[in-house]
Amino acid sequence: MQFELIDNNGGNPIIYDSLLLPPDKMGIFSSELSLKIIQELVKEPACAMDLARRMNQHEQKIYYHLRRLEAAGVVKHIRSEKRYSMTAKIYGVVSPVVSAKLFEKGRKVVKKTNGLSREMDEFFRPFVEEGKLNATIVIGDPYPHGKYDKPDKSAAHAFDFMMMLGNIVNELNFPHYKLDIDIREKDLKENLILIGNPKTNTIMSRLDGNMPVFFDPKSGWAVVSKKTSKKYDEPRVGVIMKMDSPFQAGKKILVIAGIRTRGMQAATIALTRYFKKTIKKSDEQGNLFRIVEGSDETGDHVIDNVKFLE
């Protein structure tokens, strides 16, 4: 049975993919040769013939121990190769940690974020690494500024997103954000989380032409999709994007934006309340863009739900 083991590691937890064996299977490790086989397979997957040569052992003896290790689930057949007109089975080690449960006396786990922690870990990488924020959060100055001389009032609507992010950040090192007017060129070489829109966040304005979705100032800041060429001008439209940074190779940018503050609300609701659905269309590099539109289902003039447009 596969599970995860957390090593406290002096206050810096490390998670291992682990293997849980029945106690009667633990005897497999009483053999010195079995342990040596595991050590060799950790270095590089191999077949019995390769192991026999590397360890200077009889091939049949290696086969015997490999079969026992495979039956216990400690090693597995990962591929086959042609060797001298024969088929060689290549084995690898299943998990770096193996343990046995002697009796039932565990503690109930309280799942965070509705059990979505693994997906969140993947989505927020590299913005959060080993529990530390590895990005600069950029919000627009709340006073009129920039080319369009507009204040940014959207940061308040990103509060739920900040709470969500804090759920996977273990080490706090304040402040975690900067105003767009305080960003320097060296800051752009880091991972960035941008909040607002190109009209109120000058850093997002610099990025606008490089995004798969852009805001068109000639159309009242309508959101335009490069993929479908569709234009969305409803003020309740929001955007979530994870993309490669055009400022620095190897870095990422996360954008949470809206045409107006209501659009920002919609983007935040999509990312927090419908996180799993939001990230569903991520590509192989983990990048994605989603366009959403907020709705007021209760009729109280507050955005409380969203529909996904793209």
pLDDT tens, 190-241? 999 999 999 999 999 998 677 889 898 888 889 999 999 999 999 999 999 9
* Confidence at residue 1, expressed as pLDDT on a 0 to 100 scale: 67
Residues of the chain with pLDDT under 50: 110-116
The H or E element containing residue 225 is strand 222-225
pLDDT digits (tens, 9 = 90+) for 127-150: 988 778 899 999 999 999 998 899
Instruction: Categorise residue 292: left if φ over 0, alpha if ψ from -120 to 50, beta otherwise.
Output: beta
Check: CB of residue 298 under 8 Å from CB of residue 215.
no
Report domain extents, the chain: 2-100, 113-308
Within 13 Å, how many C-alpha atoms sit on residue 9's CB side?
9
| Beta carbons within 8 Å of 178's beta carbon, 6+ residues apart | 136, 137, 138, 139, 187
Which tokens hold the place of 274? 């419908």
| Beta carbons within 8 Å of 117's beta carbon, 6+ residues apart | 111, 168
Calpha distance 310→308 (Å, rounded): 6
* Confidence at residue 57, expressed as pLDDT on a 0 to 100 scale: 95
Calpha distance 86→252 (Å, rounded): 47
| Beta carbons within 8 Å of 19's beta carbon, 6+ residues apart | 1, 2, 3, 73, 74, 94, 95, 97, 98, 99
* Confidence at residue 243, expressed as pLDDT on a 0 to 100 scale: 92
Calpha distance 310→304 (Å, rounded): 19
* Confidence at residue 306, expressed as pLDDT on a 0 to 100 scale: 92
Instruction: Kindly report the CATH class assigned to 113-308.
Output: alpha beta
Same-fold call for 2-100 versus 113-308: no
* Confidence at residue 111, expressed as pLDDT on a 0 to 100 scale: 45
Calpha distance 112→170 (Å, rounded): 13
* Confidence at residue 181, expressed as pLDDT on a 0 to 100 scale: 94
Q: What is the pTM of this model?
A: 0.62
- List, in sequence order, the alpha helices (H) in the chain: 32-43, 48-55, 59-72, 117-123, 159-166, 202-207, 261-273, 275-278
pLDDT digits (tens, 9 = 90+) for 260-275: 888 999 999 999 999 9
Domain 2-100 annotated CATH 3.10.450.50: no
* Confidence at residue 33, expressed as pLDDT on a 0 to 100 scale: 96
